[in-house]
Amino acid sequence: MAASHGRGEFLLGPAAGTAAGGGLLLSRPIAREIDAWSRANKGLIRFQDLATHTSRIEEPVQADYRGYTIYKCGCWTQGPYLLQALRLLEGFDLARLGFQEPATIHAIVEAMKLALADRDVHYGDPLFVEVRCRNCCPTATRKCGVS
């Protein structure tokens, strides 16, 4: 939803229907510049995309890692992959392995590769595909997407 505010500007997102702020205020000339640049560079973003954009406000997925609670956006982003990689790394004593030591870097890279492989197969935008975040990311404490 977009709402014009008279000065050649419009609000994007949920705040567009209100007079109060909270949404992204984007001037029409800037939106037209983005559109023109995108067209000139074979991009896909158009003025209408910016004018009609809305953002979903959702509960984050989360995982505990070594005394910290990490929050990330849901399965429509890459967020859960980081949670999964961190949980895989819990089995390693990274401090004992040493900062920037080959064994430490190797463990981190391999955890990231495993989590990214799951992301490629199991993550997606729940508006378009069925996603069960707990199946691919046991670290998430909240199911992401459609059951």
Query: What is the structure's pLDDT at 85?
Result: 93
Cα–Cα distance for residue pair 50/47, rounded to 1 Å: 5
Find out whether 40 and 58 touch, Cβ atoms under 8 Å: no
Question: Which range marks the domain in which residue 87 is found?
Answer: 61-136
Q: Which long-range contacts (CB under 8 A, 24 or more apart) does 124-131 make?
A: 124/75, 124/76, 125/75, 125/76, 126/74, 126/75, 126/76, 127/76, 131/75, 131/76
Kindly report, residue by residue over 86-145, the tens digit of the pLDDT. 999 999 999 999 999 999 999 999 999 999 998 888 888 888 888 776 545 544 433 333
What pTM does this model have? Answer: 0.62
**Do residues 72 and 126 both lie within one domain?**
yes
**CATH code, 65:** 1.10.246.130
Kindly report, residue by residue over 13-62, the tens digit of the pLDDT. 544 444 444 445 567 788 889 999 999 999 999 998 888 877 778 888 88
**Do residues 42 and 66 both lie within one domain?**
no
Query: What is the structure's pLDDT at 138?
Result: 47
**Do residues 86 and 131 both lie within one domain?**
yes
How many structural domains is the chain composed of?
2
Query: What is the structure's pLDDT at 133?
Result: 64
**Do residues 32 and 74 both lie within one domain?**
no
**Do residues 65 and 116 both lie within one domain?**
yes
